[in-house]
């Protein structure tokens, strides 16, 4: 049996990431946040968001390492 995909709204994602809604919209506008639209409403797959967060963390760690070398 297939597992149900957990999907979040903008408000739920903002709470999940502990950021303001405007941050979510800003990231969407810049094309930096993975999401999809249903009509005019944005939705976010939790598994995709978790992978995105891990990737963003790796990028930030790499940038921090470069700064420490300088």
pLDDT of 5-59, one tens digit each?
A: 899 999 999 999 989 999 999 999 999 999 999 999 999 999 999 999 988 876 6
Q: What per-residue confidence (pLDDT) applies to 3?
A: 80
Domain ranges of the chain: 7-69
Residue 69 confidence (pLDDT)? 54
CA distance 61 to 38: 34
pLDDT, residue 60, reads 54
H helices of 1-70, in order, are 10-17, 21-29, 46-69
37 versus 69: the higher-pLDDT residue is 37
Rg of the chain over Cα atoms, rounded to whole angstroms, equals 14
Predicted confidence at residue 56, as pLDDT, reads 82
Q: Which two tokens stand for residue 2?
A: 């297939």
Q: Provide the pLDDT for residue 20.
A: 92
């Amino acid at each position: 049996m297939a597992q149900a995909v957990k999907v979040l709204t903008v408000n739920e994602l903002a709470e999940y990431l502990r950021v303001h809604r405007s941050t979510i919209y800003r990231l969407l506008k810049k094309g930096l946040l993975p999401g999809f639209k249903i009509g005019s409403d944005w939705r976010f797959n939790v598994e995709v968001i978790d992978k995105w967060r891990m990737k963003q963390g790796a990028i930030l760690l790499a940038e921090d390492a470069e700064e420490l070398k300088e």
